[in-house]
Each structure stands twice: as C-alpha cells, then as structure tokens.
Amino acid sequence: MEKFECKIQQKLESAEKFTKDDIKTIMNIVRQEMNFMIRNNILITPKNYERWFFVFCHIVESGKELNDLEILGLFKEIYDEPYDEVREHKDDVKISNPKGFVKKLNHIAESIDKKLLEIINSLDRHNDSLENHTESLIESREEAKDQMLHSINKILEELNELKRENKELTRELKQYHKDVVMLQEELKIAKTEAEMDFLTGLVNRRRFERAVLEMLNDLQTKNYPFSLVILDIDDFKSINDKYGHAVGDTVLKEIAAILKTFLRANAISSRIGGEEFAVILPGSDLEQAIHIAERLRKAIENRSFNLDDIRVTASLGVAEAKKSDTLETLFERADMALYEAKKSGKNCTVPAE
C-alpha cells in the first residue's frame, strides 16, 4: 500500500527553516491546488484547503501527473472517503479549525517578501558601486602606462563578469519576488473565500460567531450594546419541493440582497444554516433591533421574486445581548424567540426575554 506523506507540511508544523527550493515547491503546490479547487467548484474553506494542500503536496513531491478524475480518486484513497461537495457545503458552517496552513504560508510569504526586497536593494546598490568602479578604471586605463594595462584589463574583465552575475541574480530575485507577491494575493483570496458563504456572498457561520464573540467582549469591557437577529424563511422546504432547488437558491440570494440593502454599513449579516440567516446590530438596544427586524420582515413579504404564484415570508427572533451572555446563551435566547415566532403563525418578529 502506498505511503502518503508531505514533507513540506512536516516542515510547516515543525517551523523548520525553508530553503529557496522549499518556497518554490510551496508556491507550486498552492497554484495547482487553487486552480483545481476553482476548476471543480470546491469551496475554499479552511478544512478543504488543508486537506487538498496535503493531496497536492503528495502529488508535487512524488512527481505525479494526474488528471482531475485521478486526483479525486487519490483524495478518496488518502482520506478513505469520497469527496462530497454537498456534505462539505453543509459542514462549512460548522468548521471551527483555524486556517493553520493559510496563516503559516502567509507568514512565510511575508518574511520572504521582506528579505527579497532587502537583497534586491542591496544588489542594486552593489551594481551601482561596480559601475562607478568600472568607469574609474576605464579612465585610469587611458592614462596608464603599457606595463599597467594588462593588470587593469584583467581587473576590468573580473568586474564585468561580476556585474553580469549580479544583474542575472537581481533579475532572478525580482522574478522570485514577483512570484511571492502573487502567492500572497492567492492566499489573501483563499482567506476571504474561506470566510464567505458561497451562494449568498454573506459571511459564513464560523466568521459570524467570531464577530459575535468580539461584540460580546466590547459589551463587557466598553459597555457597547448590540443585538442579535435570527431570521428563518417560512416553509422554505415547500418552495424547494414545488419549484426546485434553483428557485430556492434564488430566494436565498434575494434575502441576502435585502439584508445588504436595508441594513446599515456596520451591521454584519450571515447565512448560518440552510434557510437561516443572522444579523448583528451594533449599537442597537432591543427596541431599536425590533424596529429594524420588522422593516426586514416587511421588505421580504413585499419583495417580488419574479415568480407570480410564490409568496416568501420570514419569521424573526431578536435578542439584545447581556453582559452575562456567552455565544451559546445569546444564540439560545434568539433561537427561542424565533421558535415563538414560528409557533405564533410565522411572518412575525418576536423579542427574547
């Protein structure tokens, strides 16, 4: 049975010093991985990124050339499970693991970027100095006696060779620096996409929960209030069953558009589940949050979804954060309010106690 390993990953985890060839290998792995994930519509989540990094690390280090179908087969062989895009999409909102590889690779890229710029600037200064020395020697040669010409010519030859080598090294380093900058951009894109919901463009649950924790900290340390709204589309399953998942996806995207349009710029909106959304309202007490939630509810009720016989409504639960709240208790209170809204006939807003 083939042994699967990734030496680069082992170096990442042990914080060993990287060689120039190591960095080139990392960039090669990242490029192949990103191209494959985009080409095959694979969500760039921390979990997916880490697992596919290992797959492509093994491919690159072992010198294999595989087509996409063979790569998917290799994934199944390594992880003993088939890649299931639907399952990974559902799991996306539950991922809690940090983006270990992205952080480590980005740190490496930043360090190399800084060091390369220092080396390039140093070489440029060195080349300028060599140019000055060369010009000075050329002038001296014109004035030198015959017995000195041979020595001066020899020195000039060596200086010109050194200049040529330095220029070639500078060219290679500048290209290398360009590659590192490109890697940084790719990692930045991966980080952004890892925090977004693929369908709606809103932040995903993992990123949203981190924002809630930050707001709770501000409430406890700075007394800065905020409220949480949880919104659930009424009878969404029947929409999917009757009109199909494509129409259901359109409804989800329209709800996201309403949140982006009707909320202030400092509000944070997220799709936290299949048809469930959540909103952080910084600076809003319960009364203000209820008013905003009602405005959202009416906007959804009156929205035209370009389907004559479809009516979309939503139920909302609203909770003002307390200093005693944790992430779990705040969500629990908002969820209980949402449950009461559903039980009260749907298409309404209910505040938490």
Question: Which residues are designated catalytic?
Answer: 275
CA distance 293 to 333: 16
Q: Is the dihedral of CA 166, 172, 176, 178 positive or negative?
A: positive
- C-alpha torsion 174→176→177→181, nearest 10: 140
Q: Are 124 and 170 in contact (CB under 8 A)?
A: yes
Q: Which residues pair with 349 in a beta bridge?
A: 316
CA distance 259 to 270: 9
